[in-house]
Amino acid sequence: MRGQLLAVTLVLACGVATYVTMRSAFRSLELAQADYYSSFRFADIFVHLRRAPVSLGAALADISGVTSVQTRIVMDVSLDIPGLPEPATGRLISIPERRSPMLNDLFLREGRYLEPGGHGEVLISEAFALANRLTVGASLDAVLNGKWERLTIVGIALSPEYIYEIRPSEVFPDNRRFGVLWMSGDVLESSFNMKEAFNDVSLSLSRGADEREVISRVDRVLSRYGSLGAFSRTDQISYRFLTDELGELRAYGFVLPLLFLGVVSFLLNVLLSRLVSTQRAQIAVLKAFGYTRYEIGLHYLELALVAVSAGAVLGVAAGLWLSVGLMNLYTRYFHFPALRLQSAPDILIVAVAIAAGAACLGAVAAVRRAVALAPAEAMRPEPPATFRPGLLERLGLRTFLSPASRMVVRNLDRRRWRATFSVLAVSLSIAIIVAGSYAIDAVELLVRIQFQSVQREDVTLVFQELQSSRARYELARLPGVLRVEAFREIPARLRFGHRKRRVGILGLPVDAELRRPVDSHLRPVVLPPTGLVLNKALAELLVARPGDTITVEVLEGARPVREVTIMALADEPVGLGVYMDLSALHRLMREGETLSGAWLRVDARAAPGLYASLKRTPSISGVAVRQVMLASFWKSFGESIQVSTAFLVGFAVTIAFGVVYNGARVALSERGHELASLRVLGYTRGEITRILLGEQAALLLAAIPLGVVLGYLLSILLSHFFARELFRLPLVANPATYAFAILVVVIATLVSGLIVARRLWHMDLTEVLKARE
Amino acid sequence: MPILQSQPVMPREPVFRMREVTKCYLLGDVEVHALRGVDLDLFAGEFIVVLGPSGSGKSTLLNILGGLDLPTSGEVHYLDHNLTAASDAALTRFRREHVGFVFQFYNLIPSLTALENVALVTDIADHPLDPSEALRLVGLGDRLNHFPSQLSGGEQQRVAIARAVAKRPDVLLCDEPTGALDYATGKLVLEVLERVNRELGTIVGIITHNAAITGMADRVVRVSSGAIAEIHCNSARISPSELSW
Ligand SMILES: Nc1ncnc2c1ncn2[C@@H]1O[C@H](COP(=O)(O)OP(=O)(O)OP(=O)(O)O)[C@@H](O)[C@H]1O
Ligand SMILES: [Mg+2]
């Protein structure tokens, strides 16, 4: 009994713990986000443009619904960080020299704000500072308009715009090689020849303002100034990642506890049903003495409450502990001024209440019938288990099975529902591991696809200004460069029917090897001489198909608007890629050979020399090195794999153990007498153990294929859940994952079965024969 | 019946030999002496009835003979098997190969039919009877596919006997086999036991509270307070059908 209650308690604790952890993390992140956004005036609308006079800010402020306007200069530049071989990319953002209320305000963690007239002073983002061990007072070099300048760090800051700090168009954050720097607006204005001008603006809206209307009015005002199109928070990367994460937390925080508590209900039901039937006579006596059915029922409910209270204490404690861990994990990716754990009492109370509800559900169903029996009826022993020809006979299996195996089948057949639920629960534990590991397998596959088949370059360079074809030859002369593929990227708005989307169209050279769109079988998609190749996810967003002609509104230069046909679809897991043949793109733009950047294949041995010369090349604003980025990704991913696998296994083992241990204990209680009488007849310990555990083995055998199927279905569900614009998890079924899940559950079953079997071995045979049953 | 060939009676060399057998149970600090120095021999082909007041140690004696329990001291031998300090595995093998048990509460497996209950034992025996033959022997040839819950008490007890007999044990030990049965059914069961003894030459030991049964035995053992009070040899066995009580 104690063992069984312990098993129930553990499963219940898992339910409570997952609820507390996920809800607390959800609440904490949500509150932190809301608080941060409002206290530091996170903007509602964002626009990047080429150049506009500061006076235009007033026109934007006049748009109805706009409450404030923050114009600024934003520039990506190359940085030389002490101790970092390759150049990093810094996003310079202008702020007023005198601190004033502004949108996307800064939280100053350390140091001080800029001092008026203090040339070369800079605030840097905390994530960047931590990753590069940069402290207040240190200096770093940045290319400001073609010239290296030394900047001094006077403060370390955080901005609501960069809670998730990632280089645009990249998949994982790399805080060593991308950081945000805030500098005096006056300094940036003069450095970049932007006197009285801005190239970026954020707006905040009044409550109830029509966001879409404002966006289209802003676009109208700014289109003459090279606007890349206004967008709302939903398309703001940091906001999007955080919000997606919150959605995930909310879903998991609902589903996982539900599964655990469902199992709790079932286990308690089986446990109490058996208890009530063994104590039938006692119940009758109590009733005869005048105890009401409620008093008796309460007695059994108390037992359930023991499991609930123990499980609740354990679950709340574990949940709080895990929330701290989870919050620590989140602080690695999401940078808040303060991310405090919000385990409000109401979360704990709800957790315990749900758990108690689930337990009572199972318990009441078990006890109700027994306590309703009239005392006289209950006094009589329970009618013997009746068996009728059933499953065995119907399946015609009878002659193939030994009598001992028939015992197993008939007992399962007699308690069909119990067997069904047990199978479901055990298969659930397999499915939990499979589905949980799916995300891991899928991310691994995603990275493999993206960085082996799609992005094959060693280094990506982005030019500060558009370059002519000469740039290609200059790059080829750099040390260690084996191959140069230059590309053109133009910002554009694709329009099909009433749907539209802001994208970057990539023009690739005919013989591109380093970057190429691939289809779902990872075969390169050959770029047609004219027309577009669209990522499938983008095509679905636009509800367009190959053969459809869509409108391309270029958001650069003369901003031509063209009709272009979709020639083929690509199917990559990352981003919403749009590809075009490089010369076709040039023709579309009516421009000569103009280049935005290049991909390089590099001789690894010469890489340090290359990085050094890239650092000395001011015309390059961004350098991304595939190898280092992947290495840093695998490192942090590897750590999180271990943690999450440990949890999945823990959850699965708890459920499998709970179900099998309870099942075997109940079977022992129901059939211990039978099995002992087999011992009297000369059956060995091993033989009766096999009969006892045969039931659990049969259930396990049924649960394995079901668990595999269930796990696969959940994986499909998750792959839809994770079909995001930023990335899509491919559907993958890794045989090793399935084998591992099965192995874990088989071992858990075996161990819990053997723990129960030990009791069988120590049963006193002569004792058994004295009892009637 | 050809399968029930009678075996020649081998007199005088005992099959079971109990010497100075005691059995103590510890109940907290109190020692309960269930057997205090029992000497008993059982011979081939014998039919023995054990009588005695409740708590006198009859079941304990039978359990030790059948290899279900070990004596606290003394010696128990079955032919050349020493049962005195046998391991659990050895005792299991002994029961499996040589002993058939019948109990007051039938102890049938409810999830198996009559036939399957018997087959359960013939499955693990060396030279068993055919399970349906064994059931025919106890007069249940038409109840083969009934589950225990579909049989009367007497029928269940006869299935239990068929199960005990089917493996052709060398000894059949019955603890109050008629205890839960009415007069007529009880007699029926006794007739079956007598027939098994006569036709198969199996040693049969029966515990009973019913003194009237003693007439069908070769020897009657009276147990009192854990010791043998008296062993009485009947000059002639009475057929169970002639018994009455
Ligand atoms: N497991 C046990 N623990 C303690 N005492 C026991 C145990 N089994 C039997 N005894 C004691 O040993 C004595 C003999 O018991 P036994 O069962 O052999 O009696 P019996 O002659 O078969 O009685 P009955 O006719 O009532 O079945 C009794 O006093 C009983 O209380
Ligand atoms: Mg007895």
What would the two tokens of residue A87 be? 């150049």
Q: Which of A387, A683, A769 shows the shortest C-beta gap to B147?
A: A387
Average pLDDT estimate for A476-490: 93
Give the span between the Cα atoms of A300 and A719, in whole angstroms.
44
Of the candidates A562, A545, A544, which has an alpha carbon nearest to the alpha carbon of residue A553? Answer: A562
Average pLDDT estimate for B159-165: 90
Is 50 exceeded by the pLDDT of residue B10?
no
Give the span between the Cα atoms of A750 and A129, in whole angstroms.
51
Give the span between the Cα atoms of A371 and A280, in whole angstroms.
9
> Which chain A residues are Cβ-neighbours of B111 within 8 angstroms?
385, 387, 406-407, 410-411, 414, 674
What would the two tokens of residue A243 be? 């919000």
pLDDT tens-digit readout, A614-642: 888 878 888 888 888 888 888 878 877 88
Average pLDDT estimate for A522-549: 94
DSSP single-letter state for residue A248: H
DSSP single-letter state for residue A156: E
User: Counting ligands in written order, which one lies closest to the CA of residue B36?
Assistant: 1
Is 90 exceeded by the pLDDT of residue A763?
no
DSSP single-letter state for residue A382: P
Angle at B72 between CA B69 and CA B73, to 5 degrees: 125
Average pLDDT estimate for B31-44: 91
For A401, nearest residue in chain B (alpha carbons): B116
CA dihedral B101, B107, B108, B111 (to 10 degrees): -140
Q: Which strand ranges, in their side-by-side order, compose the sheet holding B30-43?
A: B30-43, B14-27, B73-78, B81-82
Is 60 exceeded by the pLDDT of residue A86?
yes
Q: Mutating which of B70, B124, B132 best tests the A interface, going by the most A Cβ atoms within 10 A?
A: B124
Average pLDDT estimate for B35-45: 91
Higher pLDDT, A392 or A331: A331
Higher pLDDT, A519 or A390: A519
- Domain regions of chain B by residue span: 16-238
Of the candidates A130, A704, A241, which has an alpha carbon nearest to the alpha carbon of residue A433? Answer: A704
pLDDT tens-digit readout, A259-285: 999 999 999 998 888 888 888 878 888
Query: Are the Cβ atoms of A685 and B88 closer than 8 angstroms?
Result: yes
Residue whose tokens read 């009485």: B232
By most ligand atoms within 8 Å of CB, the mutation choice from B56, B62, B65, B221 for ligand 1 is: B56
Q: Which of A410, A679, A772 shows the shortest C-beta gap to B111?
A: A410
Give the span between the Cα atoms of A251 and A245, in whole angstroms.
10
What would the two tokens of residue A345 be? 């009492």
What is the predicted pLDDT for the residue at A393? 67
Give the span between the Cα atoms of B160 and A721, in whole angstroms.
62
| DSSP secondary structure of A694-725 | HHHHHHHHHHHHHHHHHHHHHHHHHHHHTB-S
Is 90 exceeded by the pLDDT of residue A65?
yes
Is 80 exceeded by the pLDDT of residue A766?
no
What would the two tokens of residue A509 be? 């050279």
What is the predicted pLDDT for the residue at A167? 86
> Which chain B residues are Cβ-neighbours of A402 within 8 angstroms?
123
Max Cα–Cα distance, chain B, nearest Å: 56
Angle between helices A345-372 and A293-333 (to 10 degrees): 150
Average pLDDT estimate for A308-321: 93
What is the predicted pLDDT for the residue at A297? 84
What would the two tokens of residue A128 be? 């960047």
> Which chain A residues are Cβ-neighbours of B89 within 8 angstroms?
684
DSSP run (H or E) holding A254: helix A237-278
Our separate counts of H helices and E strands in chain A read 21, 20
Average pLDDT estimate for B217-233: 92
Q: What percent of chain A has pLDDT over 70?
A: 96
Per the CB < 8 A criterion, the answer to whether A663 and A422 are in contact is: yes
User: Counting ligands in written order, which one lies closest to the CA of residue A766?
Assistant: 1
Could you tell me the pLDDT band of residue A415, with boundaries at 50, 70 and 90?
confident
For the ranges A105-119, A755-769, B12-26, the lowest mean pLDDT is seen at A755-769
Could you tell me the pLDDT band of residue A381, with boundaries at 50, 70 and 90?
low
Per the CB < 8 A criterion, the answer to whether A435 and A708 are in contact is: no
Of the candidates B186, B191, B201, B119, which has an alpha carbon nearest to the alpha carbon of residue B155? Answer: B186
What would the two tokens of residue A59 be? 């026109």
Q: How many CB atoms lie within 10 A of CB A34?
A: 11
Of the candidates B198, B183, B166, which has an alpha carbon nearest to the alpha carbon of residue B241? Answer: B183
CA A141, chain centre distance (Å): 36
The set of residues, in sequence order, having a beta carbon less than 8 Å from that of A219 and lying 6+ positions away, is: A47, A227, A229, A230
Kindly report the average pLDDT of chain A as a whole number.
89
Q: Which of B68, B117, B123 shows the shortest C-beta gap to A680?
A: B68
Read off the amino acid at residue A676. A
pLDDT tens-digit readout, A484-527: 999 999 999 999 999 999 999 999 998 899 998 999 899 999 99
What is the predicted pLDDT for the residue at B7? 47
What is the predicted pLDDT for the residue at A722? 81
What is the predicted pLDDT for the residue at A712? 94
Q: Complex ipTM, two decimals?
A: 0.87
Is 80 exceeded by the pLDDT of residue B5?
no
Query: Are the Cβ atoms of A386 and B147 closer than 8 angstroms?
Result: yes
Residue whose tokens read 């500072």: A129
How far, in Å, are A241, A415, A449, A560, A630 from residue A635 at the CA level?
21, 50, 18, 45, 8
User: Counting ligands in written order, which one lies closest to the CA of residue B53?
Assistant: 1
Is 70 exceeded by the pLDDT of residue B8?
no
Distance from CA of B190 to the nearest CA of A (A): 21
Residue whose tokens read 């839960």: B180
For B100, nearest residue in chain A (alpha carbons): A681
Which own/partner contact pairs does A610-614 have at CB distance under 8 Å and 24+ positions apart? A610/A459, A610/A478, A610/A479, A610/A480, A610/A481, A611/A85, A611/A86, A611/A87, A612/A85, A613/A478, A613/A479, A614/A78, A614/A86, A614/A87, A614/A459, A614/A461, A614/A478
Give the span between the Cα atoms of A454 and A524, in whole angstroms.
8
- Domain regions of chain A by residue span: 455-629
Q: Which of B110, B112, B148 shows the shortest C-beta gap to A403?
A: B112
Could you tell me the pLDDT band of residue A72, with boundaries at 50, 70 and 90?
very high
B49 CB burial (10 A radius; 0-12, 13-18, 19+): buried
Query: Are the Cβ atoms of A385 and B110 closer than 8 angstroms?
Result: yes
What is the predicted pLDDT for the residue at B154? 83
Query: Are the Cβ atoms of A682 and B96 closer than 8 angstroms?
Result: yes
How far, in Å, are A260, A264, A688, A696, A757 from residue A750 at the CA level?
21, 21, 15, 9, 10
Per the CB < 8 A criterion, the answer to whether A322 and A256 are in contact is: no
pLDDT tens-digit readout, A553-564: 999 888 999 999
Per the CB < 8 A criterion, the answer to whether B31 and B83 are in contact is: no
Residue whose tokens read 């199978």: A423
Could you tell me the pLDDT band of residue B4, with boundaries at 50, 70 and 90?
very low
How far, in Å, are A4, A19, A317, A391 from residue A304 at the CA level?
11, 20, 20, 34
CATH domain B16-238 topology:
Rossmann fold (3.40.50)
pLDDT tens-digit readout, A152-189: 999 999 999 999 999 887 778 889 899 999 999 998 99
What would the two tokens of residue A176 be? 């060593």
Question: Any chain A CB within 8 A of the CB of B69?
Answer: yes
Query: Are the Cβ atoms of B69 and A765 closer than 8 angstroms?
Result: yes
Average pLDDT estimate for B204-228: 91
Pocket of ligand 1, beta carbon within 6 A: B 25, 27, 32, 34, 52, 54-60
Is 50 exceeded by the pLDDT of residue A118?
yes
Give the span between the Cα atoms of A356 and B222, in whole angstroms.
61
Q: How many CB atoms lie within 10 A of CB A191?
A: 22
Angle at A339 between CA A335 and CA A342, to 5 degrees: 150
| Separation of CA A203 and ligand 2 centre (Å) | 94
Give the span between the Cα atoms of A679 and A688, in whole angstroms.
7
Q: Mutating which of A400, A671, A680 best tests the B interface, going by the most B Cβ atoms within 10 A?
A: A680
Query: Are the Cβ atoms of A765 and B68 closer than 8 angstroms?
Result: yes
DSSP run (H or E) holding A606: none
Helix (H, G, I), strand (E, B) or coil at A212: helix
Q: Which of A386, A407, A765 shows the shortest C-beta gap to B112?
A: A407
Per the CB < 8 A criterion, the answer to whether A629 and A172 are in contact is: yes
Average pLDDT estimate for B88-98: 91
What is the predicted pLDDT for the residue at B2? 42
